[in-house]
Structure 1
């Protein structure tokens, strides 16, 4: 076991002891997920593997809460990713790489500081994607949530109180590059609406990928790029027999639609789109004791390369208890004109245009 994992366990034990001694609470939580995955269609050929975090990334976390009175509370979250298949941290030389933040909940909203998920990612995983960005072939395959689209460090995040079903998320991630306050920064927000059977969000994300001279290295020299922006409308509605999903988005500018494996296929070079549109249709349907989920997602690349992609995915989750489920899933990509997208799962970028999985997930 890596030193970071040992440290995480030690911190968990110490903080749990504090929670028992005080009125404030510290909760240890986690997800343990492991599955067999078969990938094919990439330049490297077929790959069968036992992997961790297919339906949901395996993790170990701590949540702290202290009631300060008057409707106010201090909060924190520390969350570390891990690999069930090897026992390692999922990112080397890190401890709480997934989330690490502290803040306050008040009658005027929630304000937190640290490493956090983006409003864009929350909208995709909570509202847009019937697969909840899990299994194989989830919406992260084509929607712009790679890298800093998922979470950012040095982030200030504010959520307003909900009023008549409406609420607002605002986030600002500092680039922290000397001499250039804008370089590397990212900001975004989402307008939420929830009413009965309807969930909807309108999301905006703005990313500066510049590298200031003070932060330049041999591997990443100083650079100036245009701003990458994402606008995404996500909705789902409970029709009774099933829940339907619809999303439409626009990605514009440098790093607005990155993909994780740029050399996955031989032939025409894949180029990340700087002008694209995304359309998602999906469903969740109770079937037997479990849930059947599916989506169809189109990326329309409007650059001169015209590297479009189409994704079709289906998954089924069968609960063994309130905390444990078995799952099976399949995803297929149709890349066009040399597009380089790969079928992802919750934790990995994938290696080809087809993937299937069978696994088990436990929450605690």
Structure 2
């Protein structure tokens, strides 16, 4: 009897130890392509890392804590496959770095994370997934802290009857002010059958708090509202997005210099964007296409139109070749450039030829 009790105790301890172990997965993307850019001050030919999806390596783990609760973490760094360097000097895990808890009540994560606004654009609205020369970055303000933010807490509610929701708060962490530099956002989604719909909001405070040797700066709040949708018609999938941007730094330009020479373009503080796109099977590959319009409602009236067309050819489930072209027509000195997932671009036309492998 004592031997059986001892054996049961050892088995229970081993089982609990096994349940408590963290399962860690290594994942990543290796993406490199030839990029030709024109229409700017000079034409550019280059080998670029992360044309369709930023090249990255990450570590993702979970631990079962029992009673339906688990701990989780993600650490993800970007790298340039063309040079072997990290894609942001002086950083590590610059893409994502968070830890959290998941239970039946939802998921709470803390660290550097994507904003709800960016996730709606990349996951729902854009057939190019905000990558390649045809992606939404060409006209939508998918740059800076609109994409991801540090010091962020995100709560994601459990999905129910097709509905999902999340809310995010990023602390500005400027001494002497609880509001300067802070950011918050939220999204509400619905997915059922062929329909995927999401409404997202972002609110950004770009004030600078007074400090020794630093003069306080007060700016208007920057806000972004995005309605994103896609619908799967089987023969093709249709995409739609409508964005509204208001306030300081709500719509930062990807290329903040003078890509077309002359007067430096002014980032819009009051405008909207619209995107209509599709993806469809053609042969063994997939055709991607989109058209976009930027309506700048400021006195500069710097409007723009953009279109993109691409073809992805799968060599396997994890590897594909791509060929993409994108073009922008700028009005009244607007400075929108054809971007890709990693770079803001230098002109109003660009083409991509490359290979992307996920692991």
**TM-score, scaled relative to structure 2:** 0.93
Equivalent-residue separation in structure 1 for 2:179 and 2:68 (angstroms)? 36
Q: Secondary structure at the match of 1:266?
A: coil
Deviations 1:113-171 (A, max 9, x none): 00000001100000000001111130012112210010000000010001111111100
Q: What does residue 185 of structure 1 align with?
A: 182
Q: What does residue 10 of structure 1 align with?
A: none
Equivalent-residue separation in structure 1 for 2:72 and 2:250 (angstroms)? 32
Matched, 1:133 2:133: no
Change (3 A) 1:264 1:160: same
Q: What does residue 11 of structure 2 align with?
A: none
Tell me if the contact between 2:247 and 2:269 (Cα under 8 Å) persists in the aligned partners.
yes
Q: What does residue 145 of structure 2 align with?
A: 148
Equivalent-residue separation in structure 2 for 1:255 and 1:42 (angstroms)? 24
Equivalent-residue separation in structure 1 for 2:212 and 2:100 (angstroms)? 29
Q: Secondary structure at the match of 1:37?
A: strand
Change (3 A) 1:237 1:216: farther
Matched, 1:347 2:332: no
Q: What does residue 315 of structure 1 align with?
A: 310
Q: What does residue 76 of structure 2 align with?
A: 79
Match of 1:248 among 222, 242, 251: 242
Q: What does residue 261 of structure 1 align with?
A: 255
Cα shift at 1:21: 12
The size of the alignment, in residue pairs, is: 342
Tell me which stretches of 4 or more aligned residues in structure 1 moved more than 6 Å: none
Cα shift at 1:50: 0.5
Q: What does residue 114 of structure 2 align with?
A: 117
Unpaired segments of 5 or more residues in structure 2? 1-17
Q: What does residue 159 of structure 2 align with?
A: 162
Cα shift at 1:85: 0.4
Change (3 A) 1:215 1:117: farther
**TM-score, scaled relative to structure 1:** 0.92
Equivalent-residue separation in structure 2 for 1:200 and 1:171 (angstroms)? 19
Change (3 A) 1:130 1:215: farther
Deviations 1:162-182 (A, max 9, x none): 111111110000000011100
Cα shift at 1:240: 1.6
Equivalent-residue separation in structure 2 for 1:337 and 1:313 (angstroms)? 22
Cα shift at 1:24: 2.1
Q: What does residue 31 of structure 1 align with?
A: 29
Matches within 5 A, 1:205-244: 205-214=202-211, 222-244=216-238
Tell me if the contact between 1:172 and 1:187 (Cα under 8 Å) persists in the aligned partners.
yes
Cα shift at 1:47: 0.3
Cα shift at 1:223: 1.4
